[in-house]
Amino acid sequence: MEFLHKAVSADFLTASMLTFVLTVLSMALGVVGGVLVALLKGVRFAPLRWLADGYIWFFRGTPVLLQLIFVFNVLPLWGLSLSPFTCAVIALSLNEIAYMAEIVRGGLLGVDKGQRTAARMLGLSEAGILRWVVLPQATRLILPPTGNQFIGMLKTSALASVVSVQDLMLTAQRQSAADFDYVGSLGAAAVHYLVLTTVFTFALRRLERHLDVNRRAAARRTKEPVPREPVLTAAVDPAAR
């Protein structure tokens, strides 16, 4: 159980928090950027669509490790000296945007076109249709695959160790190199990854349940008081008295 003792050490707790922040920041930027790129793919101006397609083609077609090393080594040559953590956030976010764009586009296409037509007949603008009709329904379709991407981002963040980010992976490598206890160090890192994965999964499931319209409607129906039926009294025939 040496890995449990290492897992609660200050080094691994600090590395776990940094991994958490790296994952959340990269995923948040990836979601926002993915929505923007997905919307660009739906515009009528062809050059913007080509730009969005080219972005997705490039970042999905090259390894994230290559992108990470490129950002870390090439940006300083262009006069941008950034910290390893910032370089990792930029590289992971740029890569995630390409995948989230396709997920968001699939969610937008999953909304019935008839609802857009009905919204136009009610006088809503295109921005209003997107804000009040399309996005709320698309979110329920986007959330499950986004949760999978979130878990994937947590594990992909381990690549940040190659650019000296003090995350869980780099901490485990340095600890094992210092005391040659590979089982204990890697096991401690695995414990933290499993804990973070469990927390993310639980939070996403709660969010999915909150956005489940059918479940909320059923819950409201069960809370509504059941009206009492009127008590019918038997009519008495006066002649029968």
Say what the pLDDT of residue 49 is: 93
> Residue ranges per domain, the chain?
1-111+126-220
Averaged pLDDT, 94-123? 88
User: How would residue 57 be classed by pLDDT, with cut points 50, 70 and 90?
Assistant: very high
Is 60 exceeded by the pLDDT of residue 93?
Answer: yes
Out of 31-40, 122-131, 158-167, 205-214, least confident range: 205-214
What are the Cα distances from residue 237, in Å, to 84, 234, 240, 241?
Answer: 95, 10, 5, 7
Say what the pLDDT of residue 179 is: 87
CATH number attached to the domain at 1-111+126-220: 1.10.3720.10
Say what the pLDDT of residue 213 is: 60
Averaged pLDDT, 130-138? 82
Out of 84-88, 214-218, 232-236, least confident range: 232-236
Say what the pLDDT of residue 215 is: 60
Dihedrals phi, psi of 122, to nearest 5 degrees: -85, 0
Is 60 exceeded by the pLDDT of residue 239?
Answer: no
Q: Name residues whose C-beta falls within 8 Å of residue 182's C-beta, 6 or more positions apart in sequence.
A: 176
What are the Cα distances from residue 104, in Å, to 14, 115, 141, 144, 147?
Answer: 33, 18, 9, 11, 13
pLDDT over 70, % of the chain:
87
Q: What angle do CA 98, 103, 160 make, to 5 degrees?
A: 45
Task: Kindly report the pTM of this predicted structure.
Answer: 0.82
Say what the pLDDT of residue 34 is: 95
Out of 34-38, 196-200, 231-235, least confident range: 231-235
**Residue 63 CA, distance from chain mean position:** 20
Q: Which one has a higher pLDDT value, 121 or 103? A: 103
- Per the prediction, the chain carries an average pLDDT of 86
C-alpha 169/C-alpha 113 separation (Å) is: 46
Q: Which one has a higher pLDDT value, 61 or 204? A: 61
Out of 102-106, 146-150, 180-184, 219-223, least confident range: 219-223
